[in-house]
A and B are shown apart, each in its own frame.
Chain A
Amino acid sequence: MTESGMNVHHVAHLARLELSQAEAAAFQTQLQQVLNYVEKLKEVDISGVEPTAHPFPLENVTRPDEVRESLPHEEALRNAPARSEGLFVVPKIVE
């Protein structure tokens, strides 16, 4: 692990989070403390240990590919902040 730590502005940009100056400064200190704390994982001998992604691994969970009832169009759009003609409205993406 690197001791150098994170650049909160850079990671917040990756996560699409606008931060105020005050937030960024506070998070920088607080998260550095957390990162220093998790450094203790370096003490553990993990050689030859497989990672666990799920506590109860199931394999090949499949179902028949059949047409089933799903959320009606109107219901799916009901919570949208902006919509028009049965579509979500977003800011212009291409010129």
Chain B
Amino acid sequence: MLNSLDILKLCEQLNRREVSAREVMQSCLRRIEVVDSRLHAFLNVDAEDALAQAEAADRRLAQGEQLPLLGVPVAIKDAIAVRGHPLTCASRILGNFVSPYDATVIEKLKAAGAVVFGRLNMDEFAMGSSTENSAFGPTLNPWHPEFVAGGSSGGSAAAVAADECLAALGSDTGGSIRQPAAFCGCVGLKPTYGRVSRYGLVAYASSLDQIGPLTKTVADAAIMLEVLAGHDPRDSTSVPVPVPACVAALQQPVKGLRVGLPKEYFVGGLDAEVKAAVQQAIRTLEAQGVEMREISLPHTDYAIATYYIIATAEASANLARFDGIRYGRRVDGADPIELYNRTRGEGFGAEVKRRIILGAYVLSSGYYDAYYLRAQKVRTLIRRDFLKAFEQVDAILTPTSPTPAFRLGEKTADPLQMYLTDIFTISCNLAGLCGISVPCGFASNPRRPIGLQLLGRHFGEDTLLRLAYAYEQATDWWKQKPPC
């Protein structure tokens, strides 16, 4: 089946003209038809537009054009603007919004020849760890329908794992690419803060958000990153540094690289099967000459508290724009204040409201210093922990999540329990580092994927991908397909 190919193999076949881009797109659409009424990875698919793009790609392929993603179907998280397509952030408040412009990453995908299609399900405004906060219903885990796909990019991870597309874009504010990738059994890369433009990504927490790819292989993540990365004058936080040759870096040996094992990450609360899988992964890398060192990240225990203050503070400001005046849904009122109150009260779901209230509170007069300013200072200490660790090691290895995918509904009644699941992914965003999750085994009863997380230095994606590739090539977890 063409939809089950990875980018690398598909491009070989497309370039040899053995298959057409239209056939590949058709194959993805058929797959969506078969599985997505159950999985609910997609909120919207414009099949006609996707096929028209694929046919255009076929004409360019026939002329011998060479582009990194020519004819490759890539699906998009519903938080990233694609001109002429709906954008809802899985929220009711955006109503029938249609994006008037392309995000920079979409311009880049199109320039690289990709067939950009579909709107992928997510937690509303990327706030959540299970995609259960979507206003349009959760995405199910392709490995077992009673378990969550993870979040917030649950639709992206499930669509890639279930072969509904070749690759997908997600966004990661506290683990929203890596955790669902781990839960669904695909590769998820969160680039360094500033590596990829956020222009056209609906902002949740601007100092933490980063767009990245979810793919079937590490090589595909490298191909995608080379397309997506680069300075963008339209995002003043994108950093003007050169984009490394990530694909070429994959072939370099990993012997002699030093990898840190943070002692604070291998403690209580870690699922036994996850622990065993990660320990096996450590041995696999050691066998290739990678040197493991115990390190300490002493402020790990404060990361979740720091994150939920900073992220909600930024969210309360960012989501002020959804006021029912310029776009989206409006619920009328006698005066503007009543209009705002009703529009936002009816338009936002419970988790978004909770985070806006928490954020407004920690920024409010009398509490700013005690909460927000203090959290920003602890963030400095968390960042310093990593900078110090990276003086001794080239990367850091941890589980992506303390447990495999949990059951639907298991944590929805208790927001704090849901927040605590992000313990291993959140620090990376606070420090602005790059991180990747790759499949490293399976939990039993029922069988669910386990993810290995590697964290790299600021702008160190080449080394990160090289290590992830070496691990992937020595194992075959990534070759296994879900039963859906």
Give chain A's interface residues, CB within 8 Å of chain B: 1-2, 6, 8, 11-12, 14-19, 23, 26-27, 30-31, 33-35, 37-38, 40-44, 46, 49-56, 58, 61, 63, 71, 75-76, 78-82, 88, 90-93
Contacts and interface: CB of A to CB of B under 8 A. Distances in A.
A53 B207 contact: yes
B253 interface: no
A53 B377 CA distance: 9
A88 B339 CA distance: 14
Given A6-B361, A34-B415, A38-B308, A55 B376 contact: no
B377 A46 contact: yes
B367 A15 contact: no
Contacts of A14: 360, 364
A19 B354 CA distance: 11
Given A33-B416, A38-B305, A79-B97, A50 B360 contact: no
A54 B416 contact: no
Contacts of A50: 377, 380
Overall SS of chain B's interface: helix
B330 interface: yes
Contact of B371 (A1, A15, A31, A40): A1
Contact of A18 (B95, B193, B306, B341): B341
Interface residues of B, number: 78
A-B interface, 7 closest residue pairs, ranked by CB to CB distance from nearest: A55-B432, A18-B345, A51-B376, A81-B330, A79-B327, A16-B340, A38-B305
A52 B96 CA distance: 37
A75 B102 CA distance: 13
Contacts of A93: 335-336
Contacts of B227: none
A73 to B, nearest CB: 11
A16 B357 CA distance: 10
Contacts of B383: 52, 55
A37 B375 CA distance: 13
Given A34-B415, A37-B305, A40-B301, A79 B326 contact: yes
A42 B306 CA distance: 11
Nearest to A83: B326
A91 B416 contact: no
